[in-house]
Chain A
């Protein structure tokens, strides 16, 4: 029997042929932690009594969640991270460099890698054909200290994608559609593998969005095979030499197969308070929903392609007076490109507030906490009660196009009216 992508990657990292269901010890190529989970990772490494990391250049610490720091307690956590990376030779990505999942894929992650991260959206790395998964601080500490950890090789759900995205529909809409279909625990413990003839129509920024949200269906990873699009992305970041072919065997064994025709999709919105509470944009539940805050950014949708789509919709317009719009480029590189392409000027003229690269208001730490009863439309990935800092607020999730259209009208709006 052939192997899935995940079985192949684990086989390479265990030195023997493995299959789904096996518990294995695998070598870790790359491990990340951020400022919310990193301090505990560091304490656990110290507790394990390990002074030299197995591979310091494969251990990356990000200061992105509370960045710049809004409180002295967090500033002290940041100091701990800076000191630890200086001492051990681990890599530091500091304030203004960007969200961990964007930067790790621009600069470090490679096809065929095993990447673990003390952040659930580490799964984003699956877009490059890596096995990338989120773990707790302690498991990442073990990975950094020993260069390995134990895993159960997951069974795989295969998503056979056909067709192409219609106008106004993006990777975000596809993954919201899938989560709505299978539920927030629909893929718990499973790998989600994406493939099919639609792949050449799914650019890297969309793949990153899709892989990013695989965890919202409970998945252990969301993974794509590699192709010319992967090569092009690596080349863009001066890393073409890291390209290699990753694909499943034709007779790989899948636990479930789903067929989706992208051409049938509409813009989708996740309603409060769960990510699987999804409706198509023309559903009656989304009629007349007034919005107070639009958040364009995050590891899900803060890439240059996202900013371009949003800018093209709002160009020459003014935001609705009720709305405030917060734009957060996902990385320094995205920021630089947006600056160069004139996108930041468009956002500024529109009346948006442009923040430094980082997580911004996504997880409710700072930079845009909602008031009681307020409604946000965010391009991020979670809308749990309290997610954006206030359990009395409501968070809707949608694509950058839907977010931009809604910023113009002040209501949740079908972006196809603007494109």
Chain B
């Protein structure tokens, strides 16, 4: 069960907003890069979020470059999951690969600072502030398995190959 507060973001949050190119030199120093996560979208986010909080965004979250660092630093910052109306393709897969849960749901039903409780296996989001319950569809099997192992590297270390 994941629990935390909602931080709202708009549509089309690009990987340039998540992990700006001007911090390119920090890519091999991810804890340092994580201090700048989403800086160009909401400056106060990295400094004031609490471990376990959620990113709650509009459509097409993570569009742009393939930089996996974007998904990694969101996870490193302590975000428990990203909720969005839709995700860009590469970001979505990267997130699963690094063990960051990504959830597609109607995020208009969630407000800034709402207290959320997410059950990944049941596909349920409880909004403790509004009292509303949202549901989301399960991931494809292979992605569920990868997420369960905490990412694709641990998955492959365990199974030695993909099980399809």
Binding site for B on A (CB under 8 A): 23-25, 36-37, 39-40, 44, 47-49, 65-66, 71, 73-74, 76-77, 80, 117-120, 122, 134-139, 142, 146, 150, 152, 184-185, 188-189, 218, 220, 274, 363-365, 369, 382, 384-391
Q: Ordered nearest first, which 10 A-B pairs have the shortest CB separation? A: A364-B21, A136-B68, A136-B94, A73-B25, A185-B60, A384-B14, A384-B16, A120-B66, A134-B66, A391-B40
The CA-CA distance from A49 to B98 in the complex, in Å, is 17
6 more contacts with CB within 8 A, not counting A23-B164, A25-B164, A139-B94, are A138-B68, A188-B86, A188-B88, A363-B65, A364-B22, A384-B64
Q: Enumerate chain A residues within 8 angstroms of B134, measured Cβ to Cβ.
A: none
In this complex, the interface size class of chain B, counting residues with CB under 8 Å from chain A, is 35 or more
Q: Enumerate chain A residues within 8 angstroms of B161, measured Cβ to Cβ.
A: 146
Binding site for A on B (CB under 8 A): 12, 14, 16-17, 20-22, 24-29, 40, 59-60, 63-69, 71, 86, 88-90, 93-94, 97-98, 140, 142, 151-153, 156-157, 161-162, 164
Q: Enumerate chain B residues within 8 angstroms of A134, measured Cβ to Cβ.
A: 66, 90
Assess whether B66 is in contact with A118, with CB atoms less than 8 Å apart.
yes
**Shortest beta-carbon distance from A387 to chain B in Å:** 5
The CA-CA distance from A283 to B129 in the complex, in Å, is 46
Q: Enumerate chain A residues within 8 angstroms of B93, measured Cβ to Cβ.
A: 135-136, 139
Main SS class of interface, A: loop
Q: Enumerate chain B residues within 8 angstroms of A137, measured Cβ to Cβ.
A: 66, 68
Query: Across the two chains, which residue of chain A brings its CB closest to B41?
Result: A385
The CA-CA distance from A122 to B93 in the complex, in Å, is 16
Please judge, given known A-B contacts A23-B142, A120-B90, A382-B16, whether A135 and B66 are in contact too, CB under 8 Å.
yes
Please judge, given known A-B contacts A150-B142, A188-B88, A391-B40, whether A120 and B153 are in contact too, CB under 8 Å.
no
Assess whether B89 is in contact with A188, with CB atoms less than 8 Å apart.
yes
Assess whether B67 is in contact with A36, with CB atoms less than 8 Å apart.
yes
**Shortest beta-carbon distance from B36 to chain A in Å:** 11
Assess whether B28 is in contact with A77, with CB atoms less than 8 Å apart.
yes
Query: Across the two chains, which residue of chain A brings its CB closest to B97?
Result: A138
The CA-CA distance from A388 to B40 in the complex, in Å, is 13
The CA-CA distance from A391 to B69 in the complex, in Å, is 19
Q: Enumerate chain A residues within 8 angstroms of B63, measured Cβ to Cβ.
A: 184-185, 218
Q: Enumerate chain A residues within 8 angstroms of B67, measured Cβ to Cβ.
A: 36-37, 136
Assess whether A274 is in contact with B27, with CB atoms less than 8 Å apart.
no
Q: What are 24 A-B residue pairs whose CB atoms fall within 8 Å in the complex?
A: A23-B140, A25-B162, A25-B164, A37-B68, A39-B27, A65-B24, A118-B68, A120-B64, A122-B66, A134-B66, A136-B66, A136-B97, A138-B97, A138-B153, A142-B156, A185-B60, A218-B63, A364-B21, A382-B65, A384-B16, A384-B17, A385-B14, A389-B22, A391-B20
The CA-CA distance from A389 to B68 in the complex, in Å, is 19
The CA-CA distance from A146 to B161 in the complex, in Å, is 9
Query: Across the two chains, which residue of chain B brings its CB closest to A220?
Result: B89
Assess whether B40 is in contact with A385, with CB atoms less than 8 Å apart.
yes
Assess whether B12 is in contact with A152, with CB atoms less than 8 Å apart.
no
Assess whether A382 is in contact with B157, with CB atoms less than 8 Å apart.
no
The CA-CA distance from A178 to B130 in the complex, in Å, is 41
Partner of A184, one of B27, B60, B140: B60
Assess whether B16 is in contact with A385, with CB atoms less than 8 Å apart.
yes
Assess whether B157 is in contact with A218, with CB atoms less than 8 Å apart.
no
Assess whether A48 is in contact with B40, with CB atoms less than 8 Å apart.
no
**Shortest beta-carbon distance from A14 to chain B in Å:** 10
The CA-CA distance from A172 to B152 in the complex, in Å, is 37
Assess whether B26 is in contact with A73, with CB atoms less than 8 Å apart.
yes
Assess whether B24 is in contact with A138, with CB atoms less than 8 Å apart.
no
Query: Across the two chains, which residue of chain A brings its CB closest to B140?
Result: A23
**Shortest beta-carbon distance from B95 to chain A in Å:** 9
With most chain B CB atoms within 10 A of its CB, the pick from A122, A136, A146, A188 is A136
**Shortest beta-carbon distance from B92 to chain A in Å:** 9
Assess whether A218 is in contact with B153, with CB atoms less than 8 Å apart.
no
Assess whether B60 is in contact with A369, with CB atoms less than 8 Å apart.
no
Q: Enumerate chain A residues within 8 angstroms of B12, measured Cβ to Cβ.
A: 184-185, 274
Query: Across the two chains, which residue of chain B brings its CB closest to A141?
Result: B153
Assess whether A73 is in contact with B164, with CB atoms less than 8 Å apart.
no
Query: Across the two chains, which residue of chain A brings its CB closest to B154?
Result: A47
Assess whether A135 is in contact with B90, with CB atoms less than 8 Å apart.
yes
Assess whether B153 is in contact with A48, with CB atoms less than 8 Å apart.
yes
Q: Enumerate chain A residues within 8 angstroms of B40, measured Cβ to Cβ.
A: 385-386, 391
Partner of B60, one of A36, A49, A218: A218
Query: Across the two chains, which residue of chain A brings its CB closest to B22?
Result: A389
Q: Enumerate chain B residues within 8 angstroms of A122, measured Cβ to Cβ.
A: 66
